[in-house]
C-alpha cells in the first residue's frame, strides 16, 4: 500500500495510546492511496489490519474545522451517520481522533459516483428505476428517524461493486430537533439545481418534502441524461424552479412522466409523499428485496420503536467503543467539543459493578423515584414518570455497555417529555440515588488515575 506518513510521528509522541506510525493509525488501519479531496477533508483508501476489510478513511483537521466554524456541522454529521444504518447508506464504522485530526472510518464504496453515469447520458429505464427505488428506501428510512439530508444529488450517491446505490455526505443534514417553533427548517442549503423552491425562497420548509423534490430532480436526470432546470443565468433557473417549468424528452415513458410530475410540484403541500411514491405503479415495477433493498434484515432497527429496541436478549451487555469512552470520560483525551453531540453532562457514568447488579440498581431506583418500568430486557430499561409534565410524561432509557470486564458505562437518555424536567430529575434525584454504584460521571476527573 502507498502509506500516508504526514506528521504522524509528531502526533504519536503526543498520544502514545493512539499511535500513527508507518502509515498505520491506532494500530488498526493501514492508510493507502488518496481517493478524493474536498475543501475540508481528504479521503484515503484503508484496510483493517485484523480483518483485511477495505475501508475509506476521511481525515479532517481540527484546527480547520474550528477556523471555518464547522464544529456543529461535524458533530451533526457524526451523530446522524451513527443513527442511519441502512444497506443503501454509506456506513460510518467508527470515529477516532488525535489532538490534531478527526478520522471517519467508513464503508469503502468502490463503484464511484452515480454522477459519472449520468454525465455519459440517460440510463435505461429499469436501471434508473432500481437506483430510484434504493434512493427512496434510504431517504424514507432517514425521515423515519427524523433525519433530512438536504443535499441529495448524483454526486452524493455512490455505487458499490454490485451496482447498489449508497447515499453519502450528511454534512448538510438536519435533525428533527433543528425545527423552529413553527415546525419547519429555515437554513438555506443544498445545490441550486436540486433544491426545492420553498428552500430557495428563504422561508420555512418541511425537510422531508424538500428531500422528495431533490429525489424527483435526480430521477429526471437519470432518465433524461440532463437536469430539468438548466439555465446559464441563475435567476432564470430559479424562476423555472419556482414555477415547476420543465419539459420531458420524447423517450421518457408516460408512467415515469406521471410520477415525476407529481414530485416536481412547486407547492410542497400538493407534492406527492414518499408513501405515495412507494405505492406508485411505475415505482413498484420489478421491485424486490434482492435488487432494491439488499440485506434489509441488516438495517439497524434500534430506534424503530422502544419495544423493538428493548427486545434484545443478550447474555452480556453490548461492547462500548473504547475511543468513545475515553473521549467522553477522560479530560486527557477530551474531545467533548467535537464528539459530545447528544451526550449532555450528567447522562453518562462508569461503574465497576457487574452489569447485572447495575440493572438491579436501576430498577430499584426507578421504583424509589416512582418511575414506572415500561420495559426491561437485556441490559436496557425504559422508565416513565406517572405525572404529566410540560411536554407529557417524562420517559428515560438507561443502557449498560461493557468497556472491559471490570468497567461498564451506563448511558441515560430522554425519550419523551421536557428536557429541563429530565435534567432536573438527573441532577436532583438520579445522581444521588446511584452514588453507591457510580465510579465517575462524565466530565468528572475522579477516575483519571485509575484508568
Q: What is the mean pLDDT of residues 3-26?
A: 48
Least confident stretch, 99-108, 142-151, 156-165, 167-176: 167-176
Q: What is the mean pLDDT of residues 46-65?
A: 91
Q: pLDDT tens for residues 96-109?
A: 888 888 899 999 99
What's the confidence (pLDDT) of residue 415?
81
Given a cut of 60, whether residue 362 has pLDDT beyond it is yes
Least confident stretch, 120-129, 193-202, 268-277, 327-336: 327-336
Share of the chain above pLDDT 90, in %: 36
What's the confidence (pLDDT) of residue 125?
96
Q: Provide the 10 A C-beta neighbour count for residue 83.
A: 19
Given a cut of 50, whether residue 203 has pLDDT beyond it is yes
Q: pLDDT tens for residues 216-237?
A: 999 999 999 999 998 878 889 9
Q: Topology of domain 114-298, per CATH?
A: Transferase(Phosphotransferase); domain 1 (1.10.510)
In contact, 237 and 192? CB cutoff 8 Å: yes
Count Cβ neighbours within 10 Å for each residue of 306-340 and write b for 16 or more, e otherwise.
beebbeeeeeebeebeebbbbbbbbeebbbbebbb
**CB-side neighbour CA atoms (13 Å) of 326:** 14
What's the confidence (pLDDT) of residue 179?
61
Does this model's pTM top 0.75? My answer is no
Given a cut of 60, whether residue 450 has pLDDT beyond it is no
Given a cut of 80, whether residue 193 has pLDDT beyond it is yes
How far apart CA 73 and CA 269 sit, in angstroms, is 29
What's the confidence (pLDDT) of residue 316?
61
Higher pLDDT, 389 or 307: 389
Q: What is the mean pLDDT of residues 61-87?
A: 83
Q: What is the mean pLDDT of residues 18-28?
A: 70
* 151 part of the active site: yes
**CB-side neighbour CA atoms (13 Å) of 165:** 27
How far apart CA 314 and CA 211 sit, in angstroms, is 38
Q: Where are the domains of the chain?
A: 8-107, 114-298, 306-450
How far apart CA 212 and CA 365 sit, in angstroms, is 46
Q: Where residue 189 falls among pLDDT bands split at 50, 70, 90? A: confident
- For the chain, what is the mean pLDDT? 79
The one catalytic residue in 6, 63, 151, 436 is 151
Higher pLDDT, 368 or 176: 368
Least confident stretch, 4-8, 172-176, 226-230, 288-292: 4-8
Q: What is the mean pLDDT of residues 252-258?
A: 97
In contact, 184 and 205? CB cutoff 8 Å: yes
What is the architecture of the domain spanning 8-107?
2-Layer Sandwich (3.30)
Given a cut of 60, whether residue 7 has pLDDT beyond it is no
What's the confidence (pLDDT) of residue 2?
36
Q: Determine if residue 270 is labeled as part of a ligand binding site.
A: no
Given a cut of 60, whether residue 346 has pLDDT beyond it is no
**CB-side neighbour CA atoms (13 Å) of 150:** 25
Distances (CA, A) of 26 to 18, 126, 284: 5, 44, 46
Residues, the chain, total? 451
Higher pLDDT, 277 or 402: 277
Q: Which CATH number is 306-450 given? A: 3.30.310.80
Domain 114-298 identical in fold to domain 306-450: no
What's the confidence (pLDDT) of residue 257?
97
Beta bridge partners, 409, equal: 350, 401
What's the confidence (pLDDT) of residue 444?
56
Least confident stretch, 179-188, 213-222, 242-251, 436-445: 179-188
Distances (CA, A) of 60 to 173, 199, 241: 18, 29, 35
Q: What are phi and psi of 421, to 5 degrees?
A: -65, -35
What's the confidence (pLDDT) of residue 420?
78
In contact, 274 and 212? CB cutoff 8 Å: yes
What's the confidence (pLDDT) of residue 29?
94
What's the confidence (pLDDT) of residue 336?
42
Amino acid at each position: 500500500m502507498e502509506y500516508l506518513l504526514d506528521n504522524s510521528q509528531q502526533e504519536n509522541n503526543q498520544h502514545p495510546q493512539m499511535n500513527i506510525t508507518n502509515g498505520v493509525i491506532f494500530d488498526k488501519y493501514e492508510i493507502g492511496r488518496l481517493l478524493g479531496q474536498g475543501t475540508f477533508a481528504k479521503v484515503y483508501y484503508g484496510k483493517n489490519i485484523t480483518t483485511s476489510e477495505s475501508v475509506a478513511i476521511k481525515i479532517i483537521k481540527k484546527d480547520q474545522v474550528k477556523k471555518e466554524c464547522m464544529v456543529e456541522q461535524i458533530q451533526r454529521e457524526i451523530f446522524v451517520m451513527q443513527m442511519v444504518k441502512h444497506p443503501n447508506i454509506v456506513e460510518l464504522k467508527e470515529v477516532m481522533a488525535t489532538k490534531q485530526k478527526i478520522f471517519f472510518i467508513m464503508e469503502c464504496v468502490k463503484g464511484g459516483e452515480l454522477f459519472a453515469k449520468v454525465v455519459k447520458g440517460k440510463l435505461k429505464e429499469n436501471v434508473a428505476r432500481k437506483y430510484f427505488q434504493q434512493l427512496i428506501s434510504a431517504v424514507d428510512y432517514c425521515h423515519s428517524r427524523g433525519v433530512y439530508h438536504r443535499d441529495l444529488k448524483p454526486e452524493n450517491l455512490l455505487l458499490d461493486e454490485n451496482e447498489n446505490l449508497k447515499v453519502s455526505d450528511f454534512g448538510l443534514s438536519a435533525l428533527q430537533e433543528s425545527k423552529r417553533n413553527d415546525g419547519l427548517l429555515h437554513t438555506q442549503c443544498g445545490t441550486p439545481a436540486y433544491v426545492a423552491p420553498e428552500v430557495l425562497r428563504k422561508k420555512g420548509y418541511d425537510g422531508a418534502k424538500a428531500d422528495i423534490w431533490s429525489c424527483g430532480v435526480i430521477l429526471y436526470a437519470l432518465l433524461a441524461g440532463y437536469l430539468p432546470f438548466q439555465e446559464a443565468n441563475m435567476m432564470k433557473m430559479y424562476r423555472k424552479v419556482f414555477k415547476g417549468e420543465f419539459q420531458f424528452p420524447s423517450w421518457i415513458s408516460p408512467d415515469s412522466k406521471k410520477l415525476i410530475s407529481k414530485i416536481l410540484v412547486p407547492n410542497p403541500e400538493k407534492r406527492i409523499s414518499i408513501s405515495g411514491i412507494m405505492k406508485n405503479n411505475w415505482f413498484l415495477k420489478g421491485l424486490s428485496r434482492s435488487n432494491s433493498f439488499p440485506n434489509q434484515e441488516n438495517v439497524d432497527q434500534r430506534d424503530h420503536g422502544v419495544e423493538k429496541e428493548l427486545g434484545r436478549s443478550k447474555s452480556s451487555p453490548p461492547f462500548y467503543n473504547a475511543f468513545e469512552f475515553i473521549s467522553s470520560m477522560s479530560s486527557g483525551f477530551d474531545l467533548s467539543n467535537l464528539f459530545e453531540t447528544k451526550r449532555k453532562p450528567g447522562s453518562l457514568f462508569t461503574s465497576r459493578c457487574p452489569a447485572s447488579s447495575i440493572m438491579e440498581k436501576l430498577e430499584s431506583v426507578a421504583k424509589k423515584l416512582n418511575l414506572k418500568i415500561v420495559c426491561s430486557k437485556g441490559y436496557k430499561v425504559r422508565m416513565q414518570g406517572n405525572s404529566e409534565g410540560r411536554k407529557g410524561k417524562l420517559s428515560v432509557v438507561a443502557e449498560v455497555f461493557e468497556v472491559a470486564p471490570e468497567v461498564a458505562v451506563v448511558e441515560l437518555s430522554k425519550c419523551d417529555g421536557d428536557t429541563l424536567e429530565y435534567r432536573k430529575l438527573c441532577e436532583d434525584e438520579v445522581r444521588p440515588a446511584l452514588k453507591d454504584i457510580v465510579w465517575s460521571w462524565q466530565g468528572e476527573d475522579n477516575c483519571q488515575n485509575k484508568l
